[in-house]
Amino acid sequence: MKRLAIIITHPIQYYSPFFVLLAKVCELKVFYTIGKDKALSYFDPNFKREIKWDIPLLNDYAYELVTNTSKDPGSHSYKGIVNPSLINNINKFDPDIILIYGWAYHGHLSAMRYFKNKIPIWFRGDSNLLDEGNNNFKKYLRYFFLKWLYRHIDKALYVGMANKAYYKKFGIKDHQLIFAPHSVDNKRFAENRSMEAEQFRKTLGIRPEEILILFAGKLEQKKNPELLLNAFIKMDVKTTHLLFVGNGVLEENLKSKVECLGISSEGLAEKMKTKPSLDYTLNDGIKRRIHFMDFQNQSTMPVVYQACDLFCLPSQGPAETWGLAVNEAMAAGKAVLVSTMVGCAIDLVKTSVNGEIFKSGNIEDLINKLSTLTDDKEKLAQMGVASQQIIQNWSFEKQLEAIVNTINNNIDAK
């Protein structure tokens, strides 16, 4: 049985269940590089809260919490992960293959450079070219750096078409590419939680015939939740509700905007003095149909997805490399609406089949797509069925099959 070492920053809810499956087919050891203090819980500045997942992330596979000597430990910067003992610890494990998740940390890049031509190095990341801007000197420097960087790897596990195009631009050859689809625990999100979802809707005051549009994620500029709020307000369809689930730097601004919906003209004038940057409307019927919830943990999210009719990810970037919340919503059997800046759009969203794609930042296009999708609740349900069928090919099992086949056929493994 081949010995596989994985280098990754910290336990992640999207990866740990996959490691459990991988441990059944190879001798696996996962090296977590963020350090013992931050491995199980950490403060997320974008969510503005301490994050501790409520599903087990360290069960049923071998792992090691590698010492991190950084003065400012964390995955926020290159110098946030420094692991002087990592190379020695990996040598003790004596793997046949090393799989590295992400290069942009001192500890990871050091291992990549050290083990080049010693042990086959596989790499997994989800970067794409969607944020590529105009030609400039910085862009050229980045190009030559990444060409140099990817010469250190033997195989690249690409998660989708946009990621594949990225790897090819920076020198990865076709024979080095392995399609290992970006996946979530489809079975957990598909498990029938309909009774809880029905109660969830009742709690929000949403009638069975009404349509719930869901945004779930960090309330930050990258994900552009304000565009969705503005579109919903302008569209103002009486039978629709909008739910934001999450926290972040834009939370206060979004809630303030909703708070000011439907105020009197005198109150509006006063509000405009204190917060002139906000657009206000006198429509007081819409206020009850916009809802906010704090960050919800993994055990609750299947209920949240199953309660909605349409999931929307309106990201503008930069670095919306994939959008795994889209996988989750599709696994829960929901139609999806995403922007052109969402990395998974080209792979997962089939226009008029399981959802729509709108031009990032274009509120009129977003309104048009929202209006079309929310015009027929039954059609949304049919799209949700299509989503669940499509996402079956984006599963842990498919990812496992790709990796195992490559391990078994890897003539370069020592």
Q: What average pLDDT does this structure show over 180-193?
A: 98
- On the question of pLDDT at 246 being above 80, the answer is yes
Residue ranges of the domains in the chain? 3-183+395-408, 186-392
Residue 211 has pLDDT above 70, yes or no: yes
CATH of domain 3-183+395-408: 3.40.50.2000
Phi, psi of 357, deg, nearest 5: -125, 130
Helix axes 363-373, 377-390, angle to 10 degrees: 100
Residue-level pLDDT at 50: 73
**Which of 47-61, 63-77, 129-143 reaches the highest mean pLDDT?**
63-77
Contacts of 228 (CB under 8 A, 6+ apart): 213, 215, 242, 312, 314, 366
Cβ-Cβ contacts under 8 Å for 119 (sequence gap 6 or more) = 95, 96, 97, 98, 414
How confident is residue 266, by pLDDT bands cut at 50, 70 and 90? very low
Q: What is the mean pLDDT of residues 180-201?
A: 98
246 token code pair? 């999450």
State how beta strands 211-216 and 240-245 pair.
Answer: parallel
Please give the CATH number for the structural domain made up of 186-392.
Answer: 3.40.50.2000
Structure confidence at residue 280 as a pLDDT band (50, 70, 90): very low
pLDDT greater at residue 281 or residue 378: 378
The DSSP code for 194 is: H
pTM, whole model, 2 decimals? Answer: 0.91
**H helices then E strands: how many in the chain?**
16, 15
Beta-strand runs (E) in 191-345: 211-216, 240-245, 290-293, 310-313, 335-339
DSSP per-residue string spanning 59-115? SSSEEEE-----SS-STTSGGG---TTHHHHHHHH--SEEEEE-S-SHHHHHHHHHH
Residue 264 has pLDDT above 70, yes or no: no
d(CA 246, CA 227): 16
Question: DSSP code of 185?
Answer: -
Rounded to an integer, the average pLDDT of 60-75 is 97
Cis peptide before 208 (omega within 30 of 0): no
Evaluate if residue 249 carries a pLDDT over 80. Answer: yes
Res. 413: pLDDT tops 60: no
| Mean pLDDT score, 29-58 | 81
Share of the chain above pLDDT 90, in %: 84
Residue 202 pLDDT more than 70? yes
Confirm whether 3-183+395-408 and 186-392 share one CATH topology: yes
Place of tokens 């565009």: 227
* Mean pLDDT along residues 167-187: 98
| Helices 251-259, 225-235: crossing angle, 10 deg rounding | 20
- Mean of the per-residue pLDDT values for the chain? 92
